[in-house]
């Protein structure tokens, strides 16, 4: 669903529609202690802070600025009370890239930074990366060109060419095995995707069904002409 598109509109583009994603989990182990004796401890708040700041240079200094890449840390758990130095920390986040090569680059650089921080702080830093089937959603060029052409010509379809998004979809795994096409269906709402206030315009359902039914009929007709 695409809240920003009119209800029932079909959105698609040639090439990559959605980014591939990777879950990031980083565990840091040092030595806790009293706030008054920092020399007797190994502060994982300072260590985690340094790691986070260094990791932010991956996108700004290692990624080609004309290409897409995202590294976001959304969760940091460290410390229990104000006067105790934290001996452990957990950082969780996500990597996004429009190509698998970009994702692999970010993964590699993050591992190198974790290794360097571990050495410089005398800590143990464990990085776990989990991509699973969340590969970039790369639409098949031939099928997608036909899909877009059909939707542009269909009299009852509002087609909108969309930009690639950094949202992830496990449909990318299927597209790595079989040629296919993924698309947006507009639902016309002012609230963002995943918002608890999102109320999709239900008139989009019938419009979407009719649009895809028309495409499938055109696709089957095309196949018959090829076989004839």
- Per-residue confidence band for 29, with pLDDT thresholds at 50, 70 and 90: very high
CA angle, corner 71, sides to 69 and 74, nearest 5? 145
At which residue do the structure tokens 């104000």 appear?
A: 82
Is residue 16 within 8 A of residue 3, CB to CB? The reply is no
Q: Which domains does the chain have, with CATH numbers?
A: 10-17+136-227 (no CATH), 20-130 (3.30.70.360)
pLDDT of residue 224: 87
Residue 16 to residue 9: CA distance in whole angstroms: 19
pLDDT of residue 68: 82
Is residue 93 within 8 A of residue 71, CB to CB? The reply is yes
- Per-residue confidence band for 27, with pLDDT thresholds at 50, 70 and 90: very high
What's the pLDDT tens digit per position in 142-173? 999 999 999 999 999 999 999 999 999 999 99
What is the arithmetic mean of pLDDT over 1-12?
Answer: 97
pLDDT > 90? residue 228 = no
Secondary element (H or E) of residue 64: none
What's the pLDDT tens digit per position in 90-144? 999 999 999 999 999 999 999 999 999 999 999 999 999 999 999 999 999 999 9
Residue 100 to residue 103: CA distance in whole angstroms: 5
What is the arithmetic mean of pLDDT over 189-197?
Answer: 93
Give pTM, 2 decimals.
Answer: 0.90
pLDDT of residue 186: 98
What is the arithmetic mean of pLDDT over 55-84?
Answer: 96
pLDDT of residue 226: 81
Cα R_g (the chain), whole angstroms: 23
pLDDT of residue 19: 97
Residue 25 — φ and ψ, nearest 5°? -130, 125
Name the packing angle between helices 100-121 and 44-55 (round to 10°): 150
pLDDT of residue 159: 98
Residue 96 to residue 5: CA distance in whole angstroms: 23
pLDDT of residue 227: 81
pLDDT of residue 85: 98
Residue 59 to residue 8: CA distance in whole angstroms: 36
What DSSP state is assigned to residue 204? H
């Amino acid at each position: 669903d695409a809240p920003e598109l009119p209800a029932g509109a079909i959105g698609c583009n040639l090439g990559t529609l959605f980014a591939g994603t990777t879950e990031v989990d980083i565990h840091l182990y040092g030595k806790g202690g009293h706030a008054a004796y920092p020399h007797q401890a190994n502060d994982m708040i300072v260590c985690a802070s340094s790691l986070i700041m260094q990791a932010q240079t991956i996108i700004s200094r290692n990624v080609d600025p004309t290409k897409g890449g995202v590294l976001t840390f959304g969760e940091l758990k460290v410390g229990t009370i104000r006067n105790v130095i934290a001996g452990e920390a957990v950082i969780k986040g996500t990597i996004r890239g429009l190509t698998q090569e970009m994702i692999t680059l970010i993964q590699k650089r993050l591992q190198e930074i974790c290794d360097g921080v571990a050495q410089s702080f005398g800590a143990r830093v464990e990085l776990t990366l989990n991509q699973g089937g969340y590969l970039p959603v790369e639409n098949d060029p031939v099928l997608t060109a036909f899909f877009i052409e059909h939707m542009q010509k269909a009299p009852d379809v509002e087609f909108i060419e969309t930009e690639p998004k950094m949202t992830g979809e496990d449909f990318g795994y299927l597209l790595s095995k079989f040629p296919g096409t993924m698309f947006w269906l507009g639902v016309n709402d002012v609230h963002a995707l995943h918002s608890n206030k999102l109320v999709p315009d239900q008139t989009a359902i019938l419009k979407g069904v009719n649009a895809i039914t028309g495409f499938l009929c055109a696709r089957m007709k095309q196949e018959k002409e090829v076989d004839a």
